[in-house]
């Protein structure tokens, strides 16, 4: 640039006019006159590049304000220029309050933010918002709540569309349809009934994409309380953008930096504190830096009570306080004759699962509520008071007590009517043969290879066959393969004694060690040692550990890291040794 200025000065001194030189070099005439003055004053050095910085800047941001902006950003790394500007006006600024772009430039200059080009402009998004609160709620489910025992809990969330007020933030161990409905009902009782609910197509909210369709419990609550349930298009998370934005704030400001929670109760307390700050003390840019609590108004009232499914009404009536608000109570000892009733909705597959035991009802019952009556010996499934089927129970007293803690109720009398005289339970003694079978009514019936060689008492009680030890401890329950006529013809049968009692000691099951020296119990893999490969070991379930025995020898004790219940009680039957084929014999 210095050479061009010097050439222009030489052309003018050689006789060219200033106008022609300015046109040739593409500058103004004033610029050429300025170069001539610099050359006459300082010579060739005067034509060098000069700084255009003004000698004074009366409107420059003061150092105190700039330092305060940087301090706020370092103290709150999630705050952007708009939030920092709001806090400067809220808490006091040592000088004139700068503009938002000035705050942004200060952060960029000090390396506190990184400028990134936007993938899409704000104008490209179609923004929508309802005109008043309680007109529309957006609901969803988010994970990321890690517990100290390795589990990941979920959070059922709900946000009012107009005010961004968080109406639901309930921590649940599993995001089942029942847990989502309980969280929704608690919010409806606290804030009132909205006009509409917007959700995605999760199976907790709708059976839209389930085989066979139907109505889930969430749809039923909406329908019976006059709530219009709206669904998003598949793979369209921006439709529920307000609740998704709440998830982002929850993760960034709480969950990402928080250590694992010791319990669901602690996690709920932390999220309740975040929710209170989010609603009352956190300005939102989408609301022009207003607080959600200032725009939200609850509607409690038209005097119409909530209409809820009977299963939810029972749980809510028996539990006046939310589960996360009640202090943990020690579990009472499980009584021997404990029986419980619990209501469940049959999934679209028709295969109902409860605490690790599955009950096949068929797709024809999908979406319908059934009552499960269960004790330690038998499980009855009923719909509208009519018994659908009865199967042997695999529930222990501890499992039944856990069901009571999760909302089940003590059961009444069993649904099967009292037997007629002479048709009660009968018992007969048998020895299990080497193949794990016993003989009844002229046929062999498998009862379990792990019982081979044991003397057992077979109790035939209507549809259930119980195997009892010599002290009348219940060993196993199976479906009764005999008809009443066949039972009447069993020789040496006697009237049944008192009902069997479950084993009082810890649960013990058998496992066969794999070729790699490991076993699997309750979906947890335990390494026993390759030296025990092929052996059958006994696993004893304790409160927090699994003890593995080979005979009377304790092989290992592993910390329990699984929350699943034991669903398989016997080891796989070992394969018989293979016989050599004639071809192998000749080759040898």
Residues spanned by the domain of 526: 506-588
Greater pLDDT, 580 or 420: 580
Report field, pTM of the whole predicted structure over 0.85: no
Check whether 271 has a pLDDT greater than 90: yes
CATH of the domain at 246: 3.30.420.10
Banded pLDDT at 419 (limits 50, 70, 90)? very low
470 and 564 share one domain: no
Over residues 283-303, the pLDDT tens digits come to 888 888 889 999 999 887 666
d(CA 396, CA 334) in angstroms, rounded, equals: 10
Hey, what's the torsion of the CAs at 230, 233, 234, 237, to 10 degrees? -90
Residue 121 forms part of a structural domain: no
404 and 435 share one domain: no
Over residues 36-67, the pLDDT tens digits come to 898 888 888 888 887 777 777 777 888 888 89
Q: Which of 377, 410, 443 is the last residue of a domain?
A: 410
Check whether 325 has a pLDDT greater than 50: no
Instruction: Map tokens 């402009």 to a residue.
Output: 121
| DSSP run (H or E) holding 464 | strand 464-468
Banded pLDDT at 580 (limits 50, 70, 90)? low
Residue 52 forms part of a structural domain: no
Instruction: Map tokens 């222009």 to a residue.
Output: 8
Mean pLDDT of the chain: 83
* Overall size of the chain counted in residues: 588
Greater pLDDT, 179 or 573: 179
363 and 389 share one domain: yes
288 and 158 share one domain: yes
Residue 309 forms part of a structural domain: no
Q: Which of 473, 495, 517 is the last residue of a domain?
A: 495
Cα 464 versus chain centre, distance: 37
Residue 523 forms part of a structural domain: yes
Q: Which residues contact 181 (CB under 8 A, 6 or more apart)?
A: 217, 218, 221, 309, 312
Token pair recorded at residue 278: 């989010």
Over residues 356-374, the pLDDT tens digits come to 788 888 888 888 899 999 9
7 and 148 share one domain: no
Check whether 490 has a pLDDT greater than 80: yes
Residue 379 forms part of a structural domain: yes
d(CA 586, CA 588) in angstroms, rounded, equals: 5
Q: Count Cα atoms within 13 angstroms, Cβ side, for 580.
A: 7
Q: What is the mean pLDDT of residues 2-30?
A: 88
Q: What is the CB neighbour count within 10 angstroms for residue 542?
A: 11
Token pair recorded at residue 407: 């909302």
d(CA 105, CA 66) in angstroms, rounded, equals: 10
Banded pLDDT at 170 (limits 50, 70, 90)? very high
Cα-only R_g, the chain: 38
Nearest CA among 505, 528, 503 for reference residue 517: 528
508 beta partners: 540
Check whether 246 has a pLDDT greater than 90: yes
Q: Which residues contact 341 (CB under 8 A, 6 or more apart)?
A: 371, 372, 373, 374, 408, 409, 410, 411, 412
| Number of structural domains the chain divides into | 6
Q: Is 43 helix (H, G, I), strand (E, B) or coil?
A: helix
Check whether 168 has a pLDDT greater than 80: yes
Q: What is the CB neighbour count within 10 angstroms for residue 400?
A: 24
19 and 150 share one domain: no
290 and 200 share one domain: yes
Over residues 182-225, the pLDDT tens digits come to 999 999 999 999 999 999 999 999 988 877 667 888 999 999 89
Banded pLDDT at 506 (limits 50, 70, 90)? confident
**233-238: Cβ within 8 A, 24+ apart:** 234/201, 234/209, 237/200, 238/125
253 and 143 share one domain: yes
CATH of the domain at 438: 2.40.50
Q: Which of 269, 295, 321 is the last residue of a domain?
A: 295
pLDDT of residue 579: 56
359 and 469 share one domain: no
CATH of the domain at 100: 1.10.10
Question: At 512, phi and psi to the nearest 5?
Answer: -100, 130
Q: What is the mean pLDDT of residues 411-429?
A: 70
Instruction: Map tokens 């609301």 to a residue.
Output: 287
Residue 125 forms part of a structural domain: no
280 and 174 share one domain: yes
Greater pLDDT, 431 or 419: 431
Cα 449 versus chain centre, distance: 39
Q: Count Cα atoms within 13 angstroms, Cβ side, for 460.
A: 22
Residue 500 forms part of a structural domain: no
Residue 149 forms part of a structural domain: yes
510 and 468 share one domain: no
141 and 285 share one domain: yes
């Amino acid at each position: 640039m210095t050479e061009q200025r010097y050439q222009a000065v030489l052309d003018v001194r050689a006789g060219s006019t200033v106008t022609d030189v300015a046109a040739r070099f593409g500058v103004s005439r004033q610029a050429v006159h300025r170069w001539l003055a610099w050359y006459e004053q300082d010579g060739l050095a005067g034509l060098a590049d000069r700084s255009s910085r003004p000698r004074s800047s009366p409107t420059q941001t003061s150092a105190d304000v700039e330092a305060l902006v940087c301090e706020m950003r370092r103290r709150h790394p999630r705050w952007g220029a708009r939030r920092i500007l709001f806090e400067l006006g809220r808490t006091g600024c040592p000088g004139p309050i700068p503009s938002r772009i000035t705050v942004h430039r200060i952060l960029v200059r000090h390396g506190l933010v990184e400028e990134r080009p936007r993938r899409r402009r704000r104008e490209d998004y179609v923004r929508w918002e309802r005109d008043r609160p309680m007109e529309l709620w957006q609901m969803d489910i988010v994970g990321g709540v890690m517990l100290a025992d390795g589990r990941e809990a979920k959070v059922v969330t709900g946000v009012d569309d107009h005010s961004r007020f968080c109406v639901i933030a309930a921590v649940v161990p599993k995001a089942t349809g029942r847990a989502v409905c309980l969280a929704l009902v608690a919010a409806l009782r606290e804030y009132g009934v909205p006009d509409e609910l917007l959700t995605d197509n999760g199976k907790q909210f709708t059976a839209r994409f389930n085989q066979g369709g139907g109505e889930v419990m969430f749809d039923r609550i909406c329908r019976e309380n006059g709530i219009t349930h709206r669904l998003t298009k598949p793979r369209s998370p921006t439709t529920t953008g307000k609740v998704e934005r709440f998830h982002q704030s929850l993760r960034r400001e709480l969950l990402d930096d928080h250590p694992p929670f010791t319990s669901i109760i602690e996690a709920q307390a932390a999220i309740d504190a975040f929710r209170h700050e989010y609603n009352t003390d956190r300005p939102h840019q989408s609301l022009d830096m207003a607080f959600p609590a200032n725009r939200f108004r609850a509607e409690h009232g038209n005097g119409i009570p909530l209409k809820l499914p009977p299963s939810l009404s029972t749980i809510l009536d028996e539990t006046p306080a939310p589960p996360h608000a009640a202090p943990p109570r020690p579990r009472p000892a499980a009584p021997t004759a404990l029986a419980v009733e619990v209501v469940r909705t049959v999934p679209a597959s028709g295969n109902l699962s409860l605490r690790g035991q599955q009950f096949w009802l068929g797709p024809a019952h999908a979406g319908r509520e059934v009552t499960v009556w269960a004790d330690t010996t038998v499980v009855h499934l009923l719909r509208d008071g009519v018994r659908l089927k009865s199967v042997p129970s695999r529930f222990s007293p501890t499992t039944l007590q856990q069901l009571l803690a999760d909302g089940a109720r003590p059961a009444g009398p069993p649904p099967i009517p009292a037997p007629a005289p002479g048709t009660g339970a009968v018992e007969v003694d048998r020895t299990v043969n080497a193949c794990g079978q016993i003989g009844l009514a002229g046929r062999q019936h498998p009862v379990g290879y792990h019982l081979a060689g044991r003397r057992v008492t077979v109790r035939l009680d209507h549809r259930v066959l119980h195997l009892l030890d010599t002290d009348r401890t219940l060993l196993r329950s199976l479906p009764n393969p005999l008809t009443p006529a066949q039972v009447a013809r069993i020789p040496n049968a006697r009237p049944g004694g008192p009902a069997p009692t479950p084993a009082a000691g810890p649960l013990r099951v058998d496992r066969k060690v794999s070729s790699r020296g490991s076993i699997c119990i309750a979906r947890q893999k335990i390494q026993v040692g390759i030296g025990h490969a092929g052996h059958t070991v006994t696993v004893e379930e304790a409160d927090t550990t699994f003890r593995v025995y080979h005979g009377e020898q304790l092989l290992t004790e592993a910390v329990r890291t699984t929350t699943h219940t034991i669903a398989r009680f016997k080891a796989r039957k070992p394969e018989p040794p293979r016989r050599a084929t004639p071809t192998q014999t000749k080759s040898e």
